[in-house]
Amino acid sequence: MDLAIETRALSKSFDGLQAVDKLHLAVPAGSIFGLIGPNGAGKSTLIKMLIGLIRPDSGDGFILGQSIRKRDGSIRNRVGYVPDVPVMYPGFTVAEMYRLSSKLYPFWDWERCRELHQGFHLPEGQRIRNLSRGQKVQVALVMALALRPQLLLLDEPTAGLDPVVRRAFLQTIIEEVAGQGTTVFYSSHNLNDLEQSADHIAAIYRGRMLFSHTLDELKETVHRLQLIFTGEPPEDAIKSLPGLMEYHQSGRVITITIIGHLDSISPRLVELEPELVKELNLDLESIFVTFMEAQGYGFER
Amino acid sequence: MKLSKPMRGILEKEWRHSRGYFLATLLIIIYTPVIKTIFHLFRGGASMEQWVQELNFALTFGVGMARPLVYSSGLLQWLPAIGALLLGIIILGEERKGGLNYLVSTPVSRWQIILAKFFPGAGVVILSMVVNGLFLVGLGLFQPVSYNPVDVFHWCLLTGATCLCIFTVALMVSTFTAGVLAAGVVCYFLNLLPGMIVAMIEHVGARYFGLVESVSIKLCKLGSYLTMSDYIIHSERHITSVQHYPGWTTTGISATGGMGPDYLLDSCILLAGVLLFLILAIIIFERSSLQTGGAIFATGSARKTALAIGALIISYWLVFPRAETLLKFILYFSLLTGLIIMGSQYLYRLLRYGWQLPVRKKKNSTY
C-alpha cells in the first residue's frame, strides 16, 4: 500500500509538555483521512511538523515518501496546506498572493486557479487584511488546489465558516480527490463533516494515537448495545466483558458500548441470557465521545 | 549565475513587501552626509561653514575620534548603524506576525528565505554607502573641504562594513526572537556580551593567575574587536595600560588619543563577522520551529541559552568582588549559577502553570 504520510515515533514537546508523543501514523495515498482529537491533543502540532513549520524533537515523518527532516523545500512541491487561520501577507492583494504562489510552486495551474477563484466569488483586487476569515480560508484553498497537490494538509479549515461556504469547501475537496487522486489529511472538530467525506479516521489524545481505522471498520468495531433482562441484570458479568468501554444501567435496561466484532461478542452475550439485545445507532461523534470518556477526558461539574 | 524560480519569487516578494523599509533605511543611512548637507547648503553662510568643519573633522580624523561636544557629526557614525539595525530586525521579525508561516510551508527552503532577506538588505546598505561616498566626494568639488577621496573611501568602507555586520547580527537575532522589539533588546545585549565575557576572563586571570599587563591589554583589545559599537566609536582600541581596582569588577583603561582606526583590518574583521553571522542565521533558522513560545525568545533552546548566560553574568558580579581565592570563586560561582538557573526555571513554570504543576494520567492505550 502506498503511503502519502507516515510517521515513526514522531515526538514534540513544548516547555516540558508533550504535544506529540512517539506517534505512529500511516495515511494511504488517495484517501481522505480525518484526524480527530480534543483540544490540545496535538493535531495542529502534527500537521505543522508535516509541513515543516515545527521541527520534531525525535522520530521521523515522511510525506510523499520524503523525510520531513530533509532541509530541501522541494519536498513541499506538491503539498497544499490550509491552516485554521490563514495569515499570508496582509498587505498583498488576492491576485498578488496567487502570483507569488505561482512562482513558488513548480506545478502551478493558472486555469485551475481562475476556475476556483471564480467559483468562490472571491475579490481579486482586495487586500488580504480586508478579507473575512472565510474568504481567507477560500483563498488559501484556491492556492492549495492550484498547485496541483498530491497531498492536502487541512488544519481545522472549516471552523467558523458558514454552512454554505463549508459545504462548498468540502465539495471542492471531495471533487479534487475524485478527479486527481489527491490524498487529504484533514483535522477537524466537526465530526459530521468528516463522517460525510472521510474514508479513514484516526484519533489522537495527548499526542498519542487512540485508534486509526477506515470509517467502515470503525463502525463495525464499535457497537452500542441495549440489553434488557427479565430479572436482575448480571452487572459483574457484563462489566467483565472484554472491550467494554461504557456501561449504563437504568433498571432492567443496560446500555453498553463495546469494542470488537459482533461475531466474537455475540456468544458472550448469549451466555448472559438477556431477554432482548438491540444494537443502537452509533455515529462518529458518539464513538469519539465514548473513546474520550474512556480516557478520562470530559467536563467535570 | 541564474537564480531559481522560487528564489526569484521570494526576492520579488521581498521587494514588494519590504520596499518601504528599504527606502526608510536608505534615507536614514544617507541622512547625515547627504540630506543634512543639502539642508546646510540651502541655509548657506556660517551654517554651511560649520557643517563643512564637522565633516572635515569626522572624515579626516577617522571614524570614531573624540569630537567637540557641540559637533553633531556623531550622527555620521551612529545613524547608519541604527538604520542597518532596524532593517535587520524588521525585515524578518515583522514577518513573524504573518507571512513567514506561509513562506515556510511552500517549497522554498529556509536558507533561501534568509538569503532572500540578506541580499536585498545588504544591497540597500551598500547602495546607501555608495550614494554617501559619491556625494561627499562631489561636495569636495564645490566646497573648500580638507578631506580627500581616500578619506571618504575609508569612512565608507568602515561604516559600510559596520552597518553590514550590524544588519546581519540583527537578522540572525530575529531568527530566534519573538518579535521586532525583542530582537532590538537582544541585539543591544549581544553587542555588550563578548566584551563583558572577555573582561570577566581578564579579571579572573589578573586576580587569581597573576596575568601580566601586556596580556591584559591584549585581552582588552580583543574585547574591543568583538564589540560592534567599538567600530563606530573606537573608544578603547589603542590601550596603553590596564588598572584593576581591588574588589571591583571594573577596570580602568588608558588609551592613546588621536589615532585613527586601521580601516583595512577593521573592515576585514567586520566582513568576516558578516559571513559568520549569516551562516549562524541560516543554521539557527533551519533548526528552529516557527512557533512563538514567549515574549522575547521564540524557541525554548534560545530561552535556556539566554538564561544560562544571564545566570553566569549575575553570579560573576555577585561572587567576584567577594571571593579572595580561586577555590572560593569556583565554588560560589558554580553554586550560585546553578541556583539561579534552577530557581528561574521553577519560577517560570510556577508563573506559567501556577502552584499546581500539570500532572498527566498515564493512561495511553491504542485501539
Both A196 and A238 in a single domain?
no
**Does residue A277 belong to any structural domain of this protein?**
yes
Residue B29 C-alpha, separation from nearest chain A C-alpha, in angstroms:
26
In the stretch 251-290 of chain B, residues with CB closer than 8 A to chain A read: 286-290
Contacts of A83 in chain B (CB under 8 A): 101
Amino acid, res. B150: V
ipTM: 0.85
Which range (A82-96, A270-284, B140-154) has the least confidence?
Answer: A270-284
- Between CA A112 and CA A142 the distance in angstroms is 8
Residue A68: CATH number of its domain:
3.40.50.300
- 3-state SS assignment for residue A261: coil
Give the tens place of pLDDT for each residue, A4-34: 999 999 999 887 788 999 999 999 999 999 9
Which of A165, A115, A114, A110 minimizes the C-alpha distance to A136? Answer: A165
Both A199 and A228 in a single domain?
no
- Between CA B108 and CA A104 the distance in angstroms is 7
Both A202 and A225 in a single domain?
no
DSSP 8-class letter at B34: I
Residue ending a domain, choose from A144, A173, A206 = A206
**Does residue A301 belong to any structural domain of this protein?**
no
Residue A285: CATH number of its domain:
3.30.70.100
Both A11 and A160 in a single domain?
yes
Both A47 and A104 in a single domain?
yes
**Does residue A27 belong to any structural domain of this protein?**
yes
Of B10, B107, B365, the CB nearest to A76: B107
Task: Print burial letters for A214-232: b (CB count within 10 Å at least 16), e (below 16).
Answer: ebeebbebbbbbbbebeee
Q: How confident is the model at residue A42 (pLDDT cuts 50, 70, 90)?
A: very high
Residue A236: pLDDT over 90: no
Helical H runs in A154-260? 163-180, 191-197, 215-221, 235-239
Task: Print burial letters for A26-39: b (CB count within 10 Å at least 16), e (below 16).
Answer: bbebbbbbbbbbbe
Please report the pLDDT score of residue A179 as a whole number.
Answer: 83
**Does residue A211 belong to any structural domain of this protein?**
no
Both A130 and A261 in a single domain?
no
Residue A283: pLDDT over 90: no
Please report the pLDDT score of residue B66 as a whole number.
Answer: 42
- Between CA B272 and CA B280 the distance in angstroms is 12
Both A229 and A191 in a single domain?
no
Q: Test B99 with A16 for CB contact under 8 angstroms.
A: no
Residue ending a domain, choose from A206, A237, A264 = A206
CB proximity B90 to A under 8 Å: no
Of A54, A77, A105, the CB nearest to B290: A54
Both A202 and A230 in a single domain?
no
Positive or negative torsion for Cα B271, B275, B277, B281: positive
Residue ending a domain, choose from A206, A230, A252 = A206
Q: What total of structural domains would you count in chain A?
A: 2
- Between CA A45 and CA A51 the distance in angstroms is 10
Please report the pLDDT score of residue B309 as a whole number.
Answer: 94
For range A127-150, the mean pLDDT: 92
Which of A190, A189, A173 minimizes the C-alpha distance to A181? Answer: A173
Contacts of A133 in chain B (CB under 8 A): none
Separation in Å, CA A12 to CA A137, A177, A206, A251, B86 = 27, 30, 11, 47, 34
B12, B102, B344: which to substitute to probe chain A, counting the most A Cβ within 10 Å?
A: B102
The whole domain housing A240 covers 220-294
Q: Test A206 with B12 for CB contact under 8 angstroms.
A: no
- Checking A237-245 for CB contacts under 8 A at 24+ apart, the result is A237/A271, A237/A272, A238/A272, A241/A265, A241/A268, A241/A269, A242/A268, A245/A290, A245/A291, A245/A293, A245/A294
Both A106 and A180 in a single domain?
yes
Q: How confident is the model at residue A142 (pLDDT cuts 50, 70, 90)?
A: very high
Residue A279: pLDDT over 90: no
**Does residue A214 belong to any structural domain of this protein?**
no
Please report the pLDDT score of residue B362 as a whole number.
Answer: 45
B120, B19 in Cβ contact below 8 A? no
Of B8, B105, B287, the CB nearest to A52: B105
Instruction: Give the residue carrying C-alpha cell 546607501.
Output: B128
Please report the pLDDT score of residue B246 as a whole number.
Answer: 65
Both A32 and A174 in a single domain?
yes
Contacts of A23 in chain B (CB under 8 A): none
Of A74, A76, A96, the CB nearest to B16: A96
Q: Test B106 with A101 for CB contact under 8 angstroms.
A: yes
For range A261-282, the mean pLDDT: 82
- Between CA B140 and CA B152 the distance in angstroms is 10
In the stretch 101-130 of chain B, residues with CB closer than 8 A to chain A read: 101-102, 104-112
Please report the pLDDT score of residue A96 as a whole number.
Answer: 94
CB proximity B10 to A under 8 Å: yes
B77, B57 in Cβ contact below 8 A? no
Q: Test B101 with A83 for CB contact under 8 angstroms.
A: yes
**Does residue A154 belong to any structural domain of this protein?**
yes
CB proximity A76 to B under 8 Å: yes
**Does residue A111 belong to any structural domain of this protein?**
yes
- What's the burial of B258, exposed, middle or buried (CB within 10 Å: 0-12/13-18/19+)? exposed
Please report the pLDDT score of residue B61 as a whole number.
Answer: 64
Q: Test B107 with A21 for CB contact under 8 angstroms.
A: no
Give the tens place of pLDDT for each residue, A185-235: 999 888 888 888 888 999 998 899 988 989 888 888 888 888 888 888 888
Task: Print burial letters for A62-94: b (CB count within 10 Å at least 16), e (below 16).
Answer: bbbeeebeeeebebbbbbbbbbbebbbbeebbb
Contacts of B111 in chain A (CB under 8 A): 71
Both A84 and A152 in a single domain?
yes
**Does residue A49 belong to any structural domain of this protein?**
yes
Contacts of A100 in chain B (CB under 8 A): 9, 12-13
Higher pLDDT: A252 or B336? It is B336
Both A36 and A60 in a single domain?
yes
In the stretch 7-46 of chain A, residues with CB closer than 8 A to chain B read: 14-18, 21
- Length of chain A equals 301
Those residues of chain B that have pLDDT short of 70 are: 1, 61-77, 233-236, 246-251, 253, 255-260, 291-294, 353-367
